[in-house]
Amino acid sequence: MADDVVGPAAPIVSVRPGRNRLAEEDRELQAAKRERKGSHGSGFGGMGSGYASGHGHGNVQDDIDVLGIPKEEMTENVRNAIDLLLQEISHLRSELSRTKGHEAYLEEQAEKDRLLHVMRRRAFMARVALAVRRAEEDNVQFAFIYIQVQNAAAVRSEFGHGAVESLMMQASTALREASEPGDVLGSLENFDFGVLLPGTSMEEGEHKAIGLVETLNGRSFAWQGQILSIVAKFGDTVIAKDDMADDVVTRAKANLTARSGT
């Protein structure tokens, strides 16, 4: 059996769930409250200054119109109707907020590889394309690391599909545990990963890549009485302003090939 399939005996690590990187932020728009001084204000503008839902009728100022209703027409029934209306608006806003949160969760789940718990290739490449735009428009530096688990095919051939799945899960877990806030990790073709590093120079990116590969190559796990080890290599690059997303990946992969001499 080749040395790159079954490694030397090493401590068996336990898998800890990686950090969920896909955080979604929603910003609420707050309605401007304008104080109304006249007795014939327009439309809905006075709602905020004159009335608040659930605070009783004392919040309706007697010297202004609410929703364009003169004070002499502000009967008990009208007050109750307004109170119910504002309560319903508050309820609908809460429902909308919950719906947005659920949609964000579903979107995140659709983007994530269920086995590896990192972004699927399509979602990850969309992040790379966004990074290219930021490099062009905001002059933000991005380093990109291409990581290849080089013994995955040999493990699959020797031990089967289940073994290579475990190998890739171990690799993914190691990468997620070694990632820092802001790092974007995704799955690429076959047995490869991509790591996008915002605000990172070429030198810093290479230093990070060396550390990640050292972490991977030091990881072993038990499979049906054998101790299997990860064998990984990397290539890296930085995003240029005139790049396309595919250009970034291709250049980093070419750098991997040049480094490994294959």
pLDDT tens over the chain, length 262 residues: 444 454 444 444 433 333 333 344 334 444 444 444 443 443 333 444 343 444 444 454 443 455 667 777 778 887 888 888 888 888 888 888 777 776 655 555 567 888 899 999 999 999 999 999 999 999 999 999 999 999 999 999 999 999 999 999 999 999 999 999 999 999 998 899 999 999 999 999 999 999 999 999 999 999 999 999 999 999 999 999 899 999 999 999 999 999 987 5
Looking at the fold, whether 100 and 136 belong to one and the same domain comes out as no
Looking at the fold, whether 251 and 136 belong to one and the same domain comes out as yes
142 located within any domain: yes
- Supply the pLDDT for residue 36: 40
55 located within any domain: yes
6 located within any domain: no
93 located within any domain: yes
194 located within any domain: yes
Looking at the fold, whether 188 and 118 belong to one and the same domain comes out as yes
Domain end call among 57, 90, 109: 109
- Supply the pLDDT for residue 158: 95
- Supply the pLDDT for residue 53: 41
Looking at the fold, whether 80 and 180 belong to one and the same domain comes out as no
51 located within any domain: yes
Domain end call among 60, 88, 109: 109
Total structural domains in the chain? Answer: 2
Domain end call among 109, 140, 158: 109
Looking at the fold, whether 127 and 204 belong to one and the same domain comes out as yes
Looking at the fold, whether 194 and 247 belong to one and the same domain comes out as yes
- Supply the pLDDT for residue 12: 40
DSSP assignment string, the chain: --TTTB----PBPPP-PPP--------PPPPPP----SSS--TTTTHHHH--TTS-GGGS-TTS-BTTB-GGG--HHHHHHHHHHHHHHHHHHHHHHHHHHHHHHHHHHHHB-TTT-SB-HHHHHHHHHHHHHHHHHH---EEEEEEEETTHHHHHHHH-HHHHHHHHHHHHHHHHHH--TT-EEEE-STTEEEEEEET--HHHHHHHHHHHHHHHHT-EEEETTEEEE--EEEEEEE--TT--HHHHHHHHHHHHHHHHT-
203 located within any domain: yes
Looking at the fold, whether 242 and 131 belong to one and the same domain comes out as yes
Looking at the fold, whether 135 and 210 belong to one and the same domain comes out as yes
Q: Which domain holds residue 60?
A: 47-109
Looking at the fold, whether 146 and 97 belong to one and the same domain comes out as no
CA angle (5 as vertex; 151, 256 as ends), nearest 5: 25
Looking at the fold, whether 100 and 117 belong to one and the same domain comes out as no
10 located within any domain: no
